[in-house]
Structure 1
Amino acid sequence: MSYYTKAKFFTSAPDIRHLKDDTGIEVAFAGRSNAGKSSALNTLTRQKNLARTSKTPGRTQLINIFELEEDRRLVDLPGYGFAQVPIAMKKKWQQSLGEYLQKRKSLKGIVVLMDIRHPFKDLDQDLIHWAVDSDIPVLALLTKADKLKSGKRKAQLLMAREAALAFMGDVTVHTFSSLNRHGLPELEGVLNHWLQLDRDKGDVDDDTSVVDA
C-alpha cells in the first residue's frame, strides 16, 4: 500500500495566517485552474474525493492542507489563470498564493501541473522562475498525458525537458495521467525525496510499475 493513502484533510485557509505552525515539511501543488490538480491529488492518495474536483475550473479558492503525518503535509494551492473568474477574486487568490510561496519556510518542493498539450504558459513560467530564485525544487508535471498517443507524448516530454533547462534550476519534468495512473511512480519518487521518506525506507512502498514515457 502506498504511503500517500494515509493523507487526510486537515484544514482550509484563506491565507497563511490561518495555517498550521510553519514547521515540518510541506510539498505544494500549484497550477492553472484547469490543469487537473485535484484529480492528481486524488490519484496520488488513492482517494476519490480527498481533493474536490469540479467541472467548473477555478473552484479551489482556499489553501487546502492534507496531512500525511504530524510533520509531513501536502498542500493544494488556489488555481490560477482561469479567464472566467472575476478580476477581484483572481487578485485575492493570487495574493494568498504569493504569500504562501514567499513566506512559508516549511515548503520544500512545488509540483507545477500543466496540461501536456499547453505547457509552460506565462503564469507557469513565472511560478517556476520564482521557485528557482528561492532555491526550491520544482516538478513540472505534464498532466492529461492520456490525451496524446505514445509518440506525441514522448515528443512533448522531450520538448518540455529541453525547455526546462532555460530555468537554470532544479526543475524535473514528468508526464502524468489521473485516468490511467501513468507517471504515478515518478511523481511518488520525487515526493518521497522532498518529504525525506527515502531516509525512512519502511515508509515507502510503490504499488505501480508504469514507466514515464
Structure 2
Amino acid sequence: MAIQIEHLTKAYAKDAPPALEDLTLEIGRGTFGLLGPNGAGKTTLIRILATQMLPTSGRVTVEGFDLETEREAVRRRLGYLPQHFGAYPELTAGEFLDYRARLAGIYKRGDRSARVDQALEDVGLTEVRDRKSGTFSGGMMRRLGIAQAILADPDFLVVDEPTVGLDPEERIRFRAILGRLSTNRAILISTHIVGDISSTCEEIAVLAPRQLVYSGRPEAFIELA
C-alpha cells in the first residue's frame, strides 16, 4: 500500500473531543476518495497527510517513510492542491510553474522547462501558458493548481475539495484529469460531493464526526445509502 494510517488520533485540546479518533486506513495506488460532511475530520486528515501538522498519536507511512520522523522524505513524494489555491495574478501560467519548480528543487533550466511543459500538457493548459493567471477562470485555476502539484512527479497526490464552485463541464474535465494522473500514483480526493467520488474513485473512505464509518468500493456504499 502507498499510504498506511494506523490508529491515528488528533486532538486540538485536552478538554475537547478529538477531531480524529483511532483511525486506521490503507490507501493504494489509483484514486481514493475521502467523503464526509463538514466537521467530520477530512480537513484534519488532509493536513496531517500533507505534513502540515502532526497527529496526537498513531502512525502514518507514505511509501514506507514515517510521516513524523522522515517528513522531508515524505514531502519529496507528495503533491498537494489545497481547497483555496492561489497563484500570483501578474505571472503567466508558464512563469508561475517555473517559479514553483524552483521551489521544488528543480534548479536546472532544461529540467524545469521539461517539467513545466509536461505539467501544462497533463492538465490541458499548454495553449494558455503565456496568459496571466489573473485572467483564468475558476476551472483553469484548479487545473493550474494540479499542474503545480505534479511538477516534481510525486508518488502521492492530495487534492482537497477539487470541484467546489466549478460548472458541470469543468467538473467533468477535472475528474478526467485526475483519472489520467492516477495510473502511476496514489491520489487522495477529499470532498463532500458524492458525484466526485462515484465517477472517479476506485476505493473510498467515509468519515462521520471523528471516525471512519465505511471503507470499500463506492458503488457498494451508494447501494447502502
Radius of gyration: which is bigger?
Answer: 2
In the superposition, the TM-score normalised over structure 1's length comes to 0.34
- After TM superposition, the score normalised by the length of structure 2 is 0.32
Structure with more strand by fraction: 2
